A and B are shown apart, each in its own frame.
Chain A
Amino acid sequence: MSQSYDRGLIEDFGRWKEFSAGMWAWIFHKFTGWVLIGYLFTHVAVLSSATVSGEVYTQTLQSLESLLVVRVLEVGLLAVAAFHILNGIRLLFVDLGIGLEAQDKAFYAAMVATGVITIASIPTFLGGI
């Protein structure tokens, strides 16, 4: 074969505007998955302050919860978890071979539900700061 030309990564991410529902679902599922793993580590780190003493744990949590960033991040975490769960259910159906024709609608439904849950949670998370 003669020389060939490699168009590189740009051909994948450069065409994000043309991605289909399934593709977005795939990307978001990966992304939220990694975020949740990252959260797990911080979660363990915060929890481990309880091994020092009860007060330290309470203090750590109180000081964290007084920060606006943390509250906003919590909303984000909920959004990420909600999407991952809902899309996980969608994938479960895909694996069982049920309703594959509606997989794109299921993705949109997951997005909408995530949005609603997230917005509804804002008063709880951001209240009293």
Chain B
Amino acid sequence: MSTQIKERDTETESESSEESEHQTRRLSEKRERADMKERADNDLSEHDETVRLKVFRYDPEVEGKKDPRFDTFEVPFTKGMTVLDALIYARDHFDSSLTFRHSCRQAVCGSDALFVNGRQRLGCKTQMVDLEWPVRIEPLPHADVVKDLIVDMEHFYDQMESVEPYFQTNELPSGEEQRQSRENREKVKMSTRCIWCSACMSSCNVAAGDNEYLGPAAINKAYRFAMDEREGEDMKAHRLNIIEQEHGVWRCQTQFSCTEVCPKDIPLTEHIQELKREAVKSNLKFW
């Protein structure tokens, strides 16, 4: 403690010492923060509309932040503002420790699935005007929270990997190209759109109760390849084998929760149901 005070003394005195470098940086950072704050104040007074965000906060590594709590941020509303925009504003102007994932800002990368006003949504795809204010933002349910709005996605990725989410076949055509018919492409079209955001997995009560359940996204991924005619008969049998295992398609209880929340509008339940029928058809032979 005493050293710190001494440091501060020397800092103000010696301009050319090493500490002054530190200090200038610190001061400029401080100024920057003050600027930000000022700009935020300006913004807030200029805009007649502000959105109140209630954001879930939790940081197990910092003493005093170990207990989960909600922080409130007052953010100036701008036309076309998304939930992600508001979070970015809050982070940049009020609390730089506010942590959340984002990258593309256009519903492509799938990194910002959040629990907004009690529903799984993509932060960047959700317009503020479509929500009830104040807006409550939490990390995805049914997943371990690592920090603030960040959840551990490892389990979800494991499930995705387990269905072998890549094209594979032992039936190579003689020509050079491996063509897909238009109809077949149409059939798998929706299922190819998954961005691995995990919103569906988070919304599913069955997945919450059974950790081994593949989950909607993984089954949809399996659908995408099982229905792809280019993979051939053998591969389809192999795929159906994975799908109809104990914790596969039969765990689905058609709650439609996943279909409801999927930001890419993939008819997940429909795909799962179709795979169920495929599985039955491949096992039942009446001749």
Contacts and interface: CB of A to CB of B under 8 A. Distances in A.
A2 B60 contact: yes
A23 B61 contact: no
Contacts of B154: 1
Interface string A10-24: 011001011011110
Interface string B244-279: 000000000111110110000001011001101100
A1 B146 contact: yes
B118 A100 contact: no
B277 A97 contact: yes
Contacts of B256: 20-23, 103-104
A50 to B, nearest CB: 38
- Give the one of A3, A12, A17, A23 with max B CB within 10 A: A3
B145 interface: yes
Contacts of B276: 95
A91 B208 CA distance: 22
- Report, nearest first, the 8 A-B pairs whose CB atoms are least far apart: A22-B256, A4-B144, A18-B118, A3-B60, A11-B141, A26-B255, A5-B145, A15-B118
Contacts of B152: 1, 4
29 contacts: A1-B144, A1-B154, A2-B60, A2-B147, A3-B61, A4-B144, A4-B145, A5-B68, A7-B68, A7-B141, A11-B142, A12-B208, A17-B118, A18-B119, A20-B257, A22-B255, A22-B259, A22-B269, A26-B205, A26-B255, A94-B269, A95-B254, A95-B273, A95-B276, A96-B277, A97-B277, A100-B269, A103-B254, A103-B256
Interface in A8-64: 11-12, 15, 17-18, 20-23, 25-26
Contacts of B156: none
Given A23-B256, A94-B254, A97-B277, A6 B144 contact: yes
B144 A100 contact: no
Contacts of A4: 60, 144-146, 152
B73 interface: no
B58 interface: yes
Which secondary structure dominates chain A's binding surface? helix
Contacts of B253: 26
Given A26-B255, A95-B276, A5 B270 contact: no
A94 B145 CA distance: 34
Interface string B142-185: 10111100001010000000000000000000000000000000
Nearest to B119: A18
Interface of A: 1-7, 11-12, 15, 17-18, 20-23, 25-26, 91, 94-97, 100, 103-104
Contacts of A1: 144, 146, 152, 154
Given A2-B147, A7-B145, 13 more contacts: A1-B146, A4-B152, A5-B68, A5-B144, A7-B141, A22-B255, A95-B254, A95-B276, A95-B277, A96-B277, A97-B274, A97-B277, A100-B269
B66 to A, nearest CB: 8
Contacts of B205: 12, 23, 26
A3 B269 CA distance: 34
B60 A20 contact: no
Nearest to A94: B254
A31 to B, nearest CB: 13
- Give the one of A5, A21, A95, A103 with max B CB within 10 A: A5
Nearest to B60: A3
Contacts of B273: 94-95, 97, 100
A100 B267 contact: yes
